[in-house]
Structure 1
Amino acid sequence: MRIQPSQSVDNTSYQYYVDLLQLVLDTTSDEYGPADIVTLESSLSQSRGFFMLKNEQLDVYWAGTSIARERDYLAVTVPLVGGLLGNRVPVIMRNRLSEFAKITTAEQLQKMVACQGSQWPDSDILEFNGYRVERVISFSLMYTMLEQQRCDYFPRGINEAHAEVDTQGHETLMVYDELILRYPLPMYFFVNKQNLLLAQRLTEGLLLLVNNGKLTEFIMHHPTTASIFPLSRYQHSRVISLENAILPANVVERAHNNWIGFPKE
């Protein structure tokens, strides 16, 4: 089972998806047989990862969904982190805390510049909603640019931010979780359109984990995501809701039974 490598040592959430994929494969091994995960060596941009998936050089690729991605690939439509990914918190420089503490409206935040992945759906979503975005091709470079104050903040999913900022070398950064940018963006496993058997295996495995409660348990106890619970800690955060214009029309409906994140508005 060929998968993408981590984009950077800062990308601590990578291991979450590897471990979840292994759990799904183990859960379905009696019916489908054993499977070994093989990680490719070279780091991939999202466009390169999807290109390799289309050309059968990768077997599984995980990413936020979009209309175009579900058109061109088979999406396993079970959100891998429930509703958490679309709740973004700014990673900021510690010395700018007082500045961000004064932000109470979307208009104030729109004057600032967000570092964001050049090929991530998030960049399109932010720009569609009137936010200024510095598109960056390299994951690790985004944190470097933030530390060099070449952008003002780096929006990360609440399931990602704390684990990444806690890595060595980010002492000047902090997660400002008093402010949440919220938009629907489920993270899915994607496979080649011809690989129907693998899509079926991943779907069955994930749905089994949802129905027996083990996916929620996995999210709540994995080292990458455990520190964000209980979610009640965010009940007093200021929430700015954004529209996701590239979201497939039925995505919220299909996610209804698999949603463990914040209550839908």
Structure 2
Amino acid sequence: MFKVVVALMLWSAPLFAAEPLVLRYPQLAEVSDQRSEYPLALLRLALDKMAIKAELQPTSQTLSKSRAIALLQQEREVDIVWTMTSKEKEASLLPVRIPLMKGLGAYRALLIRQGNQELFSEELPVKRFKQRILAQGHDWVDTQILRQHRFSVQAASDYPTLFQMLDKGRVDAVPRAVTEIIPELSRYQQQGAALEVEQHWLLHYPGAVYFFVAPSQATLAALIEQGLEKAIADGSFDLLFVQHFAEDIQQLKLNERHLLELENPLLPAATPLERKELWYKLEPKRYTELNLDPIQK
């Protein structure tokens, strides 16, 4: 099947080359929000590897994750999204199965209020940890996974509300991807929020952030996939990853933390876990594996 798609891709390449390919992606709520910088840089890299001229445009309005996915399914206003994969998403959208963050986006450190480190002491029993109130987006895969493991999770209606809930003391922590938490901390501290990164704990569930396109866009998906594969092969993928995240990884001292490893029942079987070169590997100081209750599976 892949060879057929590649053949179609090569046949269609002149169509893309005739004029810039316009790809619309979901606009974020705040100009200072840096979460799109790396995915867009990686998308440009993949298209450059395929000699595709492209114009990447944010949507005219900010979109929630669920709204962006719905519009992509309908092929309206949005041409591409990047998000944590799940069985449900892969059933309705076409994934490019290259983990953009090398799986690092599925490692979650905690953003907490300043002075509340004692709530998450190094000796905190996991049972007590699960009683701490966490905030996550109402339409996030992460929310489903944490709840299925019986963590206490408050759902936020949108992204900025997560940090407002934390700053006002309505929740104890906001688990954030280790690829995002440092710039988020800086941004909200500049806005006056008294927040800090928790020092001892790290959550992980196997997962991948992919580019997704509409099911009818198999040629586009194949172009992006081959471009990413070329970037992996020549080292430019890893170079871009290091440029964006190496400093944050070092600052967070990830290997010195207590890792809670959670099952991910939403992970599709086609996830390329066997391709070791696609994943970032951590070696935590302490490790606790949490399995789903049989009722939750």
Asked if TM exceeds 0.5, the reply is yes
2:290 aligned residue: none
Q: Aligned to 2:180, which of 160, 167, 170?
A: 160
2:95 aligned residue: 75
Paired residue total: 260
- 1:144–1:48: structure 2 CA closer, same or farther, 3 Å change rule? same
Contact kept, 8 Å, 2:45 with 2:231, in 1: the verdict is: no
The alignment partner of 1:36 has SS state of strand
The alignment partner of 1:251 has SS state of coil
Instruction: Note if 1:96 corresponds to 2:116.
Output: yes
Instruction: Note if 1:105 corresponds to 2:125.
Output: yes
- 1:203–1:165: structure 2 CA closer, same or farther, 3 Å change rule? same
Shift of the alpha carbon at 1:27? 2.0
The alignment partner of 2:170 has SS state of coil
User: If you compute each CA radius of gyration, which structure gives the higher value, 1 or 2?
Assistant: 2
**After superposition, what is the alpha-carbon deviation per residue over 1:37-72, rounded to whole angstroms, capped at 9, x for unaligned?**
111121111111111111112111110000011111
Identity of aligned residues (%): 26
Contact kept, 8 Å, 2:255 with 2:283, in 1: the verdict is: no
Structure with greater contact order relative to length (CA < 8 Å, sep ≥ 6)? 1
1:190 aligned residue: 212
2:249 aligned residue: 229
The alignment partner of 1:42 has SS state of strand
More strand by share: 2
1:30-179 matches, cutoff 5 A: 33-57=52-76, 58-167=78-187, 168-169=190-191, 171-179=193-201
Counterparts of 1:262 and 1:231 in 2: how far apart (Å)? 14
Please report the TM-score for the alignment, with normalisation by the length of structure 2. 0.82
Deviates more, 1:4-13 or 1:133-142: 4-13
1:23 aligned residue: 45
- 1:16–1:180: structure 2 CA closer, same or farther, 3 Å change rule? same
Contact kept, 8 Å, 1:8 with 1:139, in 2: the verdict is: no
- 1:263–1:56: structure 2 CA closer, same or farther, 3 Å change rule? farther
Deviates more, 1:200-209 or 1:16-25: 16-25
For structure 2, which runs of at least 5 residues remain unmatched after alignment? 1-22, 288-297
**After superposition, what is the alpha-carbon deviation per residue over 1:105-127, rounded to whole angstroms, capped at 9, x for unaligned?**
32121111111010000000000
Please report the TM-score for the alignment, with normalisation by the length of structure 1. 0.91
Deviates more, 1:60-69 or 1:9-18: 9-18
Counterparts of 2:123 and 2:61 in 1: how far apart (Å)? 40
- 1:86–1:12: structure 2 CA closer, same or farther, 3 Å change rule? same
Q: Aligned to 1:241, which of 261, 265, 278?
A: 261
Cα root mean square deviation, aligned:
2.0
